[in-house]
């Protein structure tokens, strides 16, 4: 590839290299391919999907990343329909997790609704403020775009925890928001702005979360279908120009490809290393892109255990923020997600391959059967789980997008870090990048 075949020489302006086969890059590739562009996707690993897909290690099967899809994103739902995946979705309007605190136990509802009002431990004033807040969130529906965290401009300069303390109160933070953000997102509300919360929650009223059958790999596989994808091809340098040059390493060899345009769909913090020619203000933006990390241990028991899922509150986690048991026949697969402080410790102490040892004592207390019934275990470490959207990030992101949109480019960017820290945000970023390229050059 790329300007090599007779076809390419006849229409060199139609050659695009996409760097990274996550759902953002795949969505951009699919759009452009449908519009008649000749597209080649380069991917470092041996599989497509990036942070979405499934992995099998021995008898343990688990997700590489995302587990749930959100029906509130209309473009994303349309894509699922178009890919023929709509019939493979299981919808849930209620998602409840038992939360275990230091001296109490309560249900947390992941979808907003009246049930949250009955959460034990809230003061009367907090319940009253929760009702008023729900009305404000409901009104925000008109503006809040679940695909784009920058759609809600309020409160970008403070931490989500401060926003919740000011708007609702201390118990609402510890009882409602903390468990969901820590358990489901592995984010401490102290580290992110309210952008994710305010752009998603208003859209979750009355909608559903979905899981995909047979598993999450079906999504990237369907988007990738029919595309020219080269795996085990690590991109080491992108040089914008006419044509652009793309340096890759595969099988110990270095090659250089050329293309009229590049869509760079790498995680944002990796961009400066492959694009040293970035303008200073773009470099400054990319230096602000940060990701939370993720650590989990998967276990297989040779006995049946009741299906369960529980979150642990910040003060009760002691290393594990989420525990899940999923029986299958006479065996049970267990999942233990490390709490944010344990994740930080694992990285700082260089123990990302020994997560099971770090939480061994805690897991013995949570699940005594582990000691005698565990027949397999696997440590899963994901260096980049979710982009952080820390205070101030959305303001910098808006400026970056406006700057890049103000003139035609040879290199476009996409990825969840540019829209929303969700699959639907990654897909939206891919649509935006391909749409901008077509708009600028036709």
* Residue ranges in contact with ligand FAD by CB under 6 A: 19-25, 42-45, 50-52, 65-68, 234-235, 265-267, 270, 294, 382, 385-386, 415-416, 421-424, 426
Task: Please state, as a whole number, how many other Cβ atoms lie within 10 Å of the Cβ of residue 233.
Answer: 22
Least distance in angstroms from the C-beta of 112 to ligand FAD: 17
Select from 307, 77, 303, 85 the least CA-distant residue to 209. Answer: 77
Q: Does residue 334 sit in helix, strand or coil?
A: strand
Using the minimum distance from each CB to ligand FAD, give the nearer residue, 24 or 79.
Answer: 24
**Beta carbons of 23 and 220 less than 8 angstroms apart:** yes
Least distance in angstroms from the C-beta of 131 to ligand FAD: 28
Token pair listed for 362: 């805690």
Using the minimum distance from each CB to ligand FAD, give the nearer residue, 42 or 130.
Answer: 42
Instruction: Region of 256 please: left (phi>0), alpha (psi -120 to 50) or beta.
Output: beta
Task: Write down the number of H helices and E strands in the chain.
Answer: 17, 20
Using the minimum distance from each CB to ligand FAD, give the nearer residue, 122 or 411.
Answer: 411
Using the minimum distance from each CB to ligand FAD, give the nearer residue, 72 or 130.
Answer: 72
Using the minimum distance from each CB to ligand FAD, give the nearer residue, 55 or 308.
Answer: 55
Select from 183, 177, 187 the least CA-distant residue to 344. Answer: 187
Q: What DSSP state is assigned to residue 177?
A: I
- Residue 118: alpha-carbon gap to chain centroid: 30
**Beta carbons of 251 and 4 less than 8 angstroms apart:** no
Using the minimum distance from each CB to ligand FAD, give the nearer residue, 358 or 386.
Answer: 386
Token pair listed for 84: 């023929």
Least distance in angstroms from the C-beta of 426 to ligand FAD: 3
Using the minimum distance from each CB to ligand FAD, give the nearer residue, 68 or 140.
Answer: 68
Least distance in angstroms from the C-beta of 421 to ligand FAD: 6
- The length of the chain is 442
Name residue 100's beta-bridge partners.
Answer: 105, 312
Using the minimum distance from each CB to ligand FAD, give the nearer residue, 134 or 419.
Answer: 419
**Beta carbons of 263 and 25 less than 8 angstroms apart:** yes
Query: Which H helix or E strand runs over 320?
Result: strand 320-328
Least distance in angstroms from the C-beta of 209 to ligand FAD: 8
Q: What DSSP state is assigned to residue 120?
A: T
- Between CA 39 and CA 16 the distance in angstroms is 5
Least distance in angstroms from the C-beta of 118 to ligand FAD: 26
Query: Which H helix or E strand runs over 33?
Result: helix 23-34
Using the minimum distance from each CB to ligand FAD, give the nearer residue, 235 or 338.
Answer: 235
- Between CA 352 and CA 374 the distance in angstroms is 21
Token pair listed for 349: 């102490």
Least distance in angstroms from the C-beta of 153 to ligand FAD: 22
Least distance in angstroms from the C-beta of 416 to ligand FAD: 4
Using the minimum distance from each CB to ligand FAD, give the nearer residue, 176 or 248.
Answer: 248
Least distance in angstroms from the C-beta of 335 to ligand FAD: 11
Using the minimum distance from each CB to ligand FAD, give the nearer residue, 172 or 320.
Answer: 320
Least distance in angstroms from the C-beta of 75 to ligand FAD: 13
Going by their DSSP bridges, the two strands 308-312 and 96-100 should be labelled as: parallel
Sign for the pseudo-dihedral over CA of 127, 203, 385, 310: positive
Going by their DSSP bridges, the two strands 209-212 and 331-338 should be labelled as: unpaired
Least distance in angstroms from the C-beta of 124 to ligand FAD: 34
């Amino acid at each position: 590839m790329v300007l090599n075949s007779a076809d390419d020489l006849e229409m060199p302006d139609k050659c695009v290299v996409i760097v990274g086969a996550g759902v953002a890059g795949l969505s951009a590739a699919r759009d452009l391919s449908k519009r008649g562009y000749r597209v080649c996707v380069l991917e470092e690993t041996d599989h497509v999907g990036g942070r979405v897909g499934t992995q099998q290690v021995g008898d343990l099967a688990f997700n590489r990343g995302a587990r749930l899809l959100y029906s509130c994103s209309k473009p994303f739902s349309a894509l699922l329909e178009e890919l023929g995946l709509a019939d493979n979705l299981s919808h849930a309007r209620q998602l409840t997790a038992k939360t275990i605190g230091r001296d109490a136990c309560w249900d947390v509802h992941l979808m907003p609704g009246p049930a949250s009002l009955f959460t034990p431990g809230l003061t009367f004033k907090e319940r009253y403020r929760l009702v008023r807040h729900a009305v404000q969130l409901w009104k925000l529906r008109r503006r809040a775009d679940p695909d784009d965290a920058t759609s809600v401009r309020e409160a970008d300069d403070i931490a989500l925890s401060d926003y919740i303390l000011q708007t609702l109160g201390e118990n609402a933070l510890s009882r409602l928001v903390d468990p969901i953000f820590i358990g489901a997102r592995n984010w401490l509300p102290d580290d992110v702005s309210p952008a994710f919360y305010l752009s998603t929650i208003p859209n979750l009223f009355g909608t559903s979360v979905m899981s995909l059958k047979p598993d999450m790999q079906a999504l990237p596989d369907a988007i990738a279908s029919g595309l020219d994808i080269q795996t085990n091809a690590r991109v080491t340098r992108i040089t914008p120009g006419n044509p652009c040059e793309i340096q890759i390493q595969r099988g110990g060899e270095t090659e250089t490809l050329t293309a009229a345009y590049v869509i760079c769909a790498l995680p944002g913090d990796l961009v400066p290393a492959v694009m040293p020619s970035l303008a200073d203000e773009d470099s400054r933006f990319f230096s602000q892109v940060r990701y939370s990390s993720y650590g989990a241990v998967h276990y297989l028991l040779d006995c049946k255990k009741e299906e369960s899922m529980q979150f642990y509150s910040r003060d009760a986690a002691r290393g594990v923020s989420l525990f899940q048991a999923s029986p299958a026949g006479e065996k049970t697969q267990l999942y233990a997600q490390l709490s944010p402080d344990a994740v930080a410790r694992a990285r700082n102490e260089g123990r990302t391959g020994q997560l099971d040892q770090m939480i061994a004592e805690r897991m013995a207390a949570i699940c005594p059967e582990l000691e005698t019934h565990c027949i397999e275990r696997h440590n899963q470490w994901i260096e980049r789980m979710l982009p952080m959207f820390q205070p101030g990030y959305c303001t910098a992101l808006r400026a970056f997008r406006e700057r890049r949109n103000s003139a035609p480019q040879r290199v476009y960017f996409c990825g969840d870090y540019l829209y929303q820290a969700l699959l639907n945000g990654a897909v939206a970023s891919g649509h935006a990048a391909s749409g901008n390229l077509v708009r600028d050059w036709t």
